[in-house]
Chains A and B, each alone.
Chain A
Amino acid sequence: MKTIEIIVSPTGEARIETRGYAGAACQEASRLLEAALGVRQSEQLTPAFFQQPLTVQNRLSAGGHTNPS
C-alpha cells in the first residue's frame, strides 16, 4: 500500500515519509505536500529509493523478445 506519513512536531516542523514506493516515484508523490507546507530543510533517500519499480523490472525480464504484430 502506498502511503505518505506526515509527522508535525509540537513546534510545527513537518517530516514527510513516503512508504510503499520504489524508485523516484515517491518524490513525485510527496512534492505537492512539500510545496504546500513550506521550505525543504533536508532530504534523506532510503534503500527503497534506489529500487526499480516492479513494472519496469517485469518489462526488463521480458526484454529481447519482439512483438511480431
Chain B
Amino acid sequence: MSHIVTIQTEVRCRESVTAACRRLQLPPPTEGTHRLFTNQATGLAVALPAWRYPVVCELPTGTLRYDHYGGHWGDPRQLDRFLQGYAVERATLVARRSGHAVHEEPIADGSIRLVVQMEGAA
C-alpha cells in the first residue's frame, strides 16, 4: 500500500441513499418536509426500523437531521447501519461509473470490504 486515508461519510447522493435503503430492505426514501418531534426538516427522509421519526438527509450540505431522544425513539445502531450501507453503495457506484470492477465481502467485525480493481487505469 502507499497511502491510507480515513473518511467521515457525508450523505450527499440521492441515488446512493435509495440504493442503501434497498440494500437494507427499508422503504424507499421520500422527499419533502418532515416532522422531528417539535421541529421540522426538509430533505430526503429515510425511515429506519422502529424509529419514531425519520432521518432527514439534507443532500446539498451532507447534514443529517434526526431526533432519537438519546436512543429512546430509535436505536442509533440503525443509523450507523444506514451510513455503512450508504458508503458502500456510494463507493461502488463511483468506482463502477469510472469503469472499474468492484468486489464486496463482509468482515467478521461487521465491516464491509470493497476491492476496486484499478489495473489498466491511468
Binding site for B on A (CB under 8 A): 1-23, 26-27, 29-30, 32-34, 36-46, 48-49, 51
Residues of A within 8 A of B114 (CB): 5-8
CB <8 Å contact, A10 and B121? no
Report whether over half of chain A's contact residues are helix, strand or loop; otherwise say mixed: mixed
Known contacts A10-B81, A37-B91: does B2 contact A32 (CB below 8 Å)? no
Chain B residues lying within 8 Å of A42, measured Cβ to Cβ, are: 5-6
The answer to whether A3 touches B118, judged by C-beta atoms less than 8 angstroms apart, is yes
In whole angstroms, what is the CA distance A43 to B88 when docked?
20
Give the B interface residue count (CB, 8 A). Answer: 39
A52 nearest CB across to chain B (Å)? 12
Q: Is the interface of B mostly helix, strand, loop or mixed?
A: mixed
Q: Are A46 and B3 in contact (CB under 8 A)?
A: yes
Min CB gap A51→B, angstroms: 8
* CB 8 Å contact bits of B1-39 with A (1 = contact, 0 = none): 111111111101100000000000000000000000000
Q: A38–B3 contact, CB under 8 A? A: no
- Closest Cβ–Cβ distance, residue A32 to chain B (whole Å): 6
Contacts of B119 in A (CB 8 A): 1-3
Asked whether B94 lies within 8 Å of A32 as measured between CB atoms, the reply is: yes
A48 contacts B2, C-beta separation under 8 Å: yes
Bitwise, B67-95 to A at CB < 8 A (1) or not (0) is: 00000000000001111101110110011
For A19, the closest partner residue in chain B by CB is B1
Residue contact B2 to A14, C-beta cutoff 8 Å: no
Give CA–CA (A43, B55) in the complex, Å: 30
Q: How far is the CA of A12 from the CA of B3 in the complex (A)?
A: 20
A residues within 8 A CB of B107? 7
- 11 A-B pairs with C-beta separation under 8 A: A2-B118, A3-B117, A4-B118, A12-B9, A15-B6, A18-B2, A20-B118, A34-B7, A36-B13, A44-B3, A45-B2
